[in-house]
Amino acid sequence: MENELLLGDILKAKKLTIATAESFTGGLFGKKITDIPGSSEYFLGGIIAYSYKAKEKLLKVNKRTLAKYGAVSAETAKEMATNVKNILNADIGVSFTGVAGPSLQEGKPAGLVYIGISYNNTLVFKEKFGGSRIEIREKSVDFAIEKLINLIGGKT
């Protein structure tokens, strides 16, 4: 919870807002952010889009992107982060797409995740986390929180 507090302090100090587009994390990022009292000052909301159809309809991910690269891809993560930022009119959009496991999805292994962060530009981080389904989700959200702290806190 320490990093969530720090992220919240940075967002408040810089008067920035954030929105999330979550797939395999199922809202875990939004939950961790809103566990902090006063998070309504900077957290605008999130969209949980688990299926292809939800990614297309709610997050405006291009059907061609999904067909060509799949839901678990850098291209999809980038569109999710950029689009949620625009849809909710936030300063920052963060996205999560990946395979929590235990089995392959789209031929991609459990633990493969893509995290998109749209701030001044859109960055996508490809990671491979080990552990259980719950651990992979936790590690992904914690990773994103650390990246956000570094990016907007000026530590890169």
Q: What is the pLDDT of residue 102?
A: 86
**In the predicted structure, residue 32 carries a pLDDT above the cut 70:** yes
Beta-carbon count within 10 A of 39 CB: 18
Smallest CA-to-CA distance from 115 within 138, 141, 134, 91 is with 141
**In the predicted structure, residue 156 carries a pLDDT above the cut 60:** no
Tokens of 147: 């990246």
Percentage of the chain lying above the pLDDT 70 cut = 98
Domains defined for the chain, CATH in brackets: 2-153 (3.90.950.20)
Q: What is the pLDDT of residues 1-24, one digit of tens each?
A: 899 999 999 999 999 999 999 999
Angstrom distance (rounded) from CA 153 to CA 156: 8
Segment 42-59 shows an average pLDDT of 97
Q: What is the pLDDT of residue 154?
A: 61
Bridge partners, 122 (sequence order): 118
Q: What is the pLDDT of residues 94-136, one digit of tens each?
A: 999 999 988 888 889 999 999 999 999 999 999 999 999 999 9
**In the predicted structure, residue 155 carries a pLDDT above the cut 60:** no
Outline where 14-72 has alpha helix (H). Answer: 28-34, 52-59, 63-69
Angstrom distance (rounded) from CA 52 to CA 142: 25
Segment 22-29 shows an average pLDDT of 97
**Max Cα distance, the chain (Å):** 43
Q: Are strands 43-48 and 18-22 parallel, antiparallel or unpaired?
A: parallel
DSSP code, position 99: -
Backbone phi, psi, residue 96, to 5°? -135, 125
From edge to edge, which strands make up the β-sheet containing 43-48?
43-48, 18-22, 92-98, 112-118, 122-128
